[in-house]
């Protein structure tokens, strides 16, 4: 049987298809090559960063700041490093097992019977964050004989919520959130207000142990509603979060202005919005919920400032308070990178990593120092301490 010769049209279609494939192939290869190059840089940066960080561990198992006297006791930084080590892949876990075990033992010695971190005659720095980080670490990378200490930690974190159930008046500012200072029951004066950062971190700790009760969740969601702008006549603010409910509080780093309802509100910014989205996720809020969708839209609009080494001003519209200067906000560069990385992972369907993720990784890798550490030249948020900056950068790279 003779084989049919191809029709001229078929030949033309085949040739055109081949030509298009040849044209498309280099574009695909370029994108693939870039991703491979960034991944190689990421792996190298992680290896160098971990080597430097592990070399800084003290004989007592802790990491102690040489930059800030207030952090010299080491509990805050050690808990941050412990959180990092607990989330490593299996291969890296094996290489860091001894360091991780020593760090956990160092932190556990400060766990008191009420779940708070304190030691007689010794200052325990960042006790609330340390308790939350330790709780998350023990869930991600369990350690033997820690069940009782973990139970105390979780109960302590639950009691520290500023809530009616914990004895706070219904009109308390920050109701439903957590402060970075201990607040067991009503106190007339809290040294630090309830903040989005502390609330998101503690909610994550409670959520990973299924320790968020309906009452805690409802109260936390009420707090979050006072830190997010869902409707206004300023489209660029819509969906974003700010740090603490009082709009005029100086901790709201972008300042404040008056909304269409005549009431003041804090101007949202990207770092706080990452924390807000993480808090909503910890509360089990669906990714299709308007609060999440609106928050992700805000991040899309803010994508340039999320990856910039020195972010451009986040909002040029008129405001009653200018907030913290943009250079000062860059003091959050590594914290922002870690929060963004986790936010991208939890919302990968709605906010794919793609270009934003690759750019963030490239910026981080470029900022690594020759010895493997990271350090922020801006001192406002203590990221000029290489222990803090390196732990946060590695959290961003390993998320």
| CA separation for the pair 153, 62 (Å, rounded) | 19
Residue 349 is predicted with a pLDDT of 65
pLDDT along the chain (399 residues), means of 10: 44 38 38 78 96 98 97 97 97 96 98 92 92 98 97 96 90 91 55 91 98 98 95 84 94 88 89 96 95 92 67 42 58 92 80 69 92 95 97 95
In terms of DSSP bridges, do strands 264-266 and 256-258 run parallel, antiparallel, or are they unpaired? antiparallel
pLDDT score recorded for residue 29: 44
3-state secondary structure at position 17: helix
Query: What's the DSSP call for residue 384?
Result: T
CB atoms within 10 A of CB 300: 13
- Please tell me the predicted confidence (pLDDT) of residue 303: 78
Burial class of residue 384 (count of CB atoms within 10 Å of its CB; 0-12, 13-18, 19+): middle
User: Model-level pTM?
Assistant: 0.87
Q: Where are the domains of the chain?
A: 51-159, 160-212, 226-399
Q: Could you give the angle at which helices 196-207 and 270-282 cross, rounded to 10 degrees?
A: 30
* Contact (Cβ atoms closer than 8 angstroms) between residue 338 and residue 399: yes
Angstrom distance (rounded) from CA 331 to CA 95? 31
Confidence at residue 358, expressed as pLDDT on a 0 to 100 scale: 78
């308790």: which residue's tokens? 131
- Find the DSSP H helices in the chain: 8-55, 75-86, 90-95, 97-108, 127-140, 147-159, 196-207, 214-225, 270-282, 290-301, 303-307, 326-329, 333-346, 354-367, 386-398
User: Cα–Cα distance between 145 and 92 in angstroms, integer?
Assistant: 23
CA distance 138 to 91: 18
């Amino acid at each position: 049987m003779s084989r049919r010769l191809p029709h001229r049209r078929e030949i033309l279609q085949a040739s055109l298809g081949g030509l298009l494939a040849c044209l498309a192939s280099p574009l695909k290869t370029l994108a693939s090559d870039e991703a491979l190059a960034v991944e190689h840089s990421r792996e190298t940066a992680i290896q160098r960063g971990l080597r430097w960080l592990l070399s800084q561990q003290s004989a007592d198992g802790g990491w102690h700041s040489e930059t800030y006297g207030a952090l010299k006791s080491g509990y805050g930084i050690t808990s941050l490093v412990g959180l990092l080590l607990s989330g490593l892949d299996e291969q890296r876990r094996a290489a860091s097992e001894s360091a991780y075990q020593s760090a956990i033992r160092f932190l556990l010695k400060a766990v008191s019977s009420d779940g708070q971190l304190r030691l007689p005659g010794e200052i325990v720095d960042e006790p609330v964050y340390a308790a939350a980080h330790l709780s998350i670490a023990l869930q991600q990378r369990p350690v033997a004989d820690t069940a009782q200490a973990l139970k105390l930690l979780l109960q302590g974190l639950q009691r520290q919520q500023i809530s009616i159930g914990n004895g706070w008046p219904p009109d308390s500012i920050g109701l439903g959130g957590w402060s970075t200072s201990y607040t067991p029951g009503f106190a007339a004066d809290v040294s630090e207000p309830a903040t989005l950062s502390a609330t998101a971190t503690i909610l994550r700790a409670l959520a990973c142990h299924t320790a968020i009760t309906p009452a805690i969740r409802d109260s936390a969601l009420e707090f979050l509603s006072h830190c997010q702008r869902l409707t206004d006549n300023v489209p660029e603010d819509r969906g974003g979060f700010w740090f603490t409910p009082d709009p005029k509080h100086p901790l709201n780093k972008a300042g404040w202005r008056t909304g269409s309802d005549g009431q003041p509100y804090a101007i949202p910014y990207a770092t706080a919005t990452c924390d807000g989205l993480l808090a909503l996720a910890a509360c089990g809020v669906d990714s299709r919920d308007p609060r999440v969708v609106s928050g992700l839209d805000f991040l899309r609009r803010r994508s340039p400032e999320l990856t910039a080494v020195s972010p451009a001003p986040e909002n040029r519209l008129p405001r009653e308070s200018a907030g913290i200067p943009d250079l000062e906000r860059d003091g959050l560069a590594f914290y922002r990178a870690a929060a963004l990385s986790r936010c991208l992972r939890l919302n990968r369907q709605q906010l794919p990593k793609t270009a934003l993720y690759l750019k963030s990784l490239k910026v981080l890798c470029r900022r690594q120092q020759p010895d493997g550490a990271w350090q922020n030249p801006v001192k406002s948020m203590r990221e000029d301490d290489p222990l803090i900056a390196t732990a946060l950068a590695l959290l961003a790279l390993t998320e």
